[in-house]
Structure 1
Amino acid sequence: MRDDSDDPAALSLRDDRTVGAPVLAALRSADDTAGFGVDIAATLAWAVSVGRARAVERDLVDDWELLASVAARDVTAARILEPHLDALDILDQARRDGHDIELDRVGAGPASSWGVFAAEGAGVRLEAHERRDGWTLTGTKPWCSLAAHVSHALVTAWAGDTRRLFAVDLRADGVSPRPGPWHARGLASVVSAPVDFAAAPAATVGDPGWYLRRTGFARGGVGVAACWWGGAAALRAPLRAAAQRSGADQLSRVHLARVDTALWAARLALADAARSLDAPAPPDPALTAARVRTLVAQAAETALHEADHALGPLPLVADEEHARRAADLQLYLRQHHAERDLARIGGDLADGRGAW
């Protein structure tokens, strides 16, 4: 066990501040992975091994500590790991809900690496068609992260007027990942570009609408927030070092305190959500997820802002690890829709939901 105050790359959401052995094992294996977070193929192989090593019976807090701790080590690595583990969880939940999944149809197995492509975009549409020999996908799916690198993906597509979830082999004939456009400075190697499908074989995962109404949907959304929190938590170390320097003024301590208190509040929100969403019938899971994602996103943005003000331009131009972390986290946070997500929370409250 390890205290998260001693190691910023091992983050705990537990009252006793301990970190489980699986998190420490994943971090040790990350240290043994050449090019971790930089070499996409090597990091994906590591992610597959982490997914295979996870215990079947585990608490939600275990998953979020793992994601946060990996993000504290490297944000890009967490951005690679999170959708792979999310896909495995989705497949497991579909099986528990009694849905048969013909993964043999798309050549998927324990060695597969996974993405989850559920975004929609203006002017493009991915449609699913059922034929005598099974389902196929035709059209374009936007925002497909690492489609040129992962072997398989869970993809939402339109079957008539309803969105359904499908598993697809991204190496199959009829699947063409685009190389861009991708001019990002953050997460530069995690290309998120459209994929074109032309009658590509697919296997159904759940019945129509299952993906969005499943109980694990909210949990997956908070898993992304755990990555944001872990990535931001690593900014405490340079701020603490700045506050400890000889001659440091009170402002350096103010910057450190603002970051610490924001991230501490986000930690409490994540820990509470883990307990709530692990309950057999969690109240308002979607609203819980939206609240936590908002709190964590605000804390991470506070950390980035205060680090810039406290440290100035030097680490952004002279410290490769810090500069990459700041750029990666800034882009990753845009998976949160800011004021639009707040508007949804406000709408729920206005409609009488979410009392506390």
Structure 2
Amino acid sequence: MPGGLSPSAALGSPAEPREDGVGESVLDSARLEAARVFAAVVEEIGTGKTEFPQPGSGRTAHRFAALRDVAEQDLCAARLVEGHVDATAILVELGAAPPAPGERWGVWAAEPPGEGLTATRVGAGWEISGRKQYCSGAHSCTHALVTAQTPDGKRLFAVETSAPGYAPVPGTWQALGMAGSDTPDVRFTGVPAVPVGPVGGYLDRPGFQHGGIGVAACWYGGAVAVSRTLHEAARRHADPHTDAHLGTVDAQLHAAWAVLEQAGAEIDHDPEDVAGVARVRSLRVRAFVESVCAHVLTHVGRATGAGPLCHDPRHARNAADLSVYIRQHHAERNLAELGALLARPEARR
């Protein structure tokens, strides 16, 4: 990881399971561990010791590498860090002030079916009410960017999580995978909000597509972490089948990183997406990296069997976290969109 922070040192040893099996204490430990690493990384960003260059700054591949490095150590912490650095990019791109020292930001913009958020004018300002799903870092973020419906359309707002009326909803994240990312629903009741950018500005900016590739860099780092178990197995026992699985995993990871580096170079060459290809690029890269992650999970599992999943808590967490995180890719829905854009290029903008 760039800068002075050593994620492995910050993480320490994996939490030990309780004698009566996996329970709430283990899940709480994962959340606290991810929050601790998140805070440490953000603090070092603030002091300049750790760097996540802005997308399109000429060093986008370095940004992807920094996200990868955090994800290799703790995928849940990477989810939180990615949200903070994405929020920083969004604020800059939409003409707002970047996070101040000591602030930790999230981006909560998922729009699944359900209640969602509504923003209404109150005097000279705005208030937000409703229920937002998938709020990663709900307990550890100090601020968040959230999407909400207004009379004029969907808009992005900045909120403070210390405000009255802000309440994470207990029990709304049931998955073991990504449990450490602290991603419950949040109930907003008259929470003051500051608009960021114009109506539709969050989705319309080229940086939305660039940010999606940053998420794929986190997926990649998670796949590297999962692959370590296969590397260790191949070193311990000479076996042609294990070697074949390792060779397959290595070739796919090598190709995925080459794709991410090329995407970074292309973003730097055309940060404002004058060519109109940012959405196609994002769909291609995310689809490829997601497929590589799925192959890594399969090959590592087939090569090493149930042993590491049952007896190695770190590997079990890595595999569970990655399996959930890559579901941010919308599978055939995203592939169908890519195919439609390729068949009808005039629909790209």
TM range (shorter): 0.7 to 0.9
Alpha carbons 2:7, 2:37 under 8 Å: kept: no
1:115 aligned onto 2:106 = yes
| TM-score using structure 1 length | 0.84
Equivalent-residue separation in structure 1 for 2:188 and 2:4 (angstroms): 35
Aligned to 2:329: 336
How far apart are residue 193 of structure 1 and its match?
A: 2.1
Equivalent-residue separation in structure 2 for 1:90 and 1:35 (angstroms): 34
Aligned to 1:140: 131
Question: C-alpha offsets along residues 284-310 of structure 1, whole Å, 9 cap, x if unaligned?
Answer: 101101100000000011000000000
| TM-score using structure 2 length | 0.86
1:238 aligned onto 2:216 = no
Aligned to 2:82: 82
Equivalent-residue separation in structure 1 for 2:4 and 2:141 (angstroms): 20
Letter in 1 for 2:303: A
1:211 to 197, 202, 215: 202
How far apart are residue 245 of structure 1 and its match?
A: 3.5
Question: C-alpha offsets along residues 49-71 of structure 1, whole Å, 9 cap, x if unaligned?
Answer: 14322367661111100000111
**Alpha-carbon distance change, 133 to 352 in structure 1, aligned in 2, over 3 angstroms:** closer
Secondary structure class of the residue paired with 1:172: coil
Aligned to 1:348: 341
Give the aligned length: 323
Letter in 2 for 1:273: A
Question: C-alpha offsets along residues 108-141 of structure 1, whole Å, 9 cap, x if unaligned?
Answer: 7321111111011323031111232311112221
Which ranges in structure 1 are unaligned for 5 or more consecutive residues?
1-22
Equivalent-residue separation in structure 2 for 1:337 and 1:77 (angstroms): 22
Aligned to 1:255: 245
Letter in 2 for 1:89: A
Aligned to 2:193: 202
Letter in 2 for 1:265: A
Secondary structure class of the residue paired with 1:143: coil
Aligned to 1:274: 264
How far apart are residue 217 of structure 1 and its match?
A: 0.6
Alpha carbons 2:77, 2:181 under 8 Å: kept: no
Secondary structure class of the residue paired with 1:85: helix
Equivalent-residue separation in structure 2 for 1:211 and 1:120 (angstroms): 13
Which ranges in structure 2 are unaligned for 5 or more consecutive residues?
15-29
How far apart are residue 29 of structure 1 and its match?
A: 5.7
**Alpha-carbon distance change, 162 to 217 in structure 1, aligned in 2, over 3 angstroms:** same
Letter in 2 for 1:83: G
1:318 to 291, 305, 311: 311
Q: Which has the higher contact order (CA 8 A, sep 6+)?
A: 2
Cα RMSD (Å) of the superposition? 2.3
Equivalent-residue separation in structure 2 for 1:231 and 1:125 (angstroms): 30
Question: C-alpha offsets along residues 75-105 of structure 1, whole Å, 9 cap, x if unaligned?
Answer: 122122110111111112122xxxx56x9xx
1:156 to 122, 144, 147: 147
2:298 to 294, 305, 314: 305
Question: C-alpha offsets along residues 169-213 of structure 1, whole Å, 9 cap, x if unaligned?
Answer: 111012122123222111122232221212211111111111001
1:288 to 252, 272, 281: 281
Identity %: 39
1:67 aligned onto 2:67 = yes
Secondary structure class of the residue paired with 2:110: coil
Secondary structure class of the residue paired with 2:147: strand
Aligned to 2:17: none
